[in-house]
Homo-oligomer: A and B are copies of this chain.
């Protein structure tokens, strides 16, 4: 991510906080910057480890709370991973996932690489579908 882009994302996060009347604390900024700067899908604890190194006073509880705030404000997504530990994804637009069946590693796949999936008729199930994500499973380079 280019410095400009990073700055833009932070600015837009701060703007959204103001819009919602959320206080702009160092903790929120730090956690946001950490997550936004990553291309993987860290757990709350992994974010905590990284962030705690920079700002030792920041607590694990706050990391959990800020990540929740990021999800609510649309700056992160929860990713559903087979290991049953929540992971956070800073990419919120439509994209897809490659999941390794062997080691569980998870990689993003850009939407442009995957042909559009027509939204099926789920009226039978009473569902109003808004979007979708495709999870491809297989073996990653280290596992085959």
Which residues of A come within 8 Å of B, CB atoms?
Answer: 78, 80-82, 84-86, 98, 100-101, 107, 109, 113-115, 117-122, 125-142, 144
Contact = CB atoms under 8 A, between A and B. Distances in A.
A68 to B, nearest CB: 12
Given A82-B80, A86-B84, A109-B122, A130 B137 contact: yes
A4 B85 CA distance: 38
A121 B115 CA distance: 11
Q: Enumerate the 6 nearest inter-chain pairs by beta-carbon distance, A residue then B residue, closest first.
A: A126-B141, A80-B80, A129-B138, A84-B86, A130-B138, A132-B136
Contacts of A101: 130
A115 B117 contact: yes
Scoring A125, A142, A144 by chain B CB atoms within 10 A of each residue's CB, the highest score goes to A125
13 contacts: A98-B125, A98-B127, A100-B127, A101-B130, A107-B127, A115-B120, A125-B141, A126-B140, A127-B141, A128-B138, A131-B138, A132-B134, A133-B137
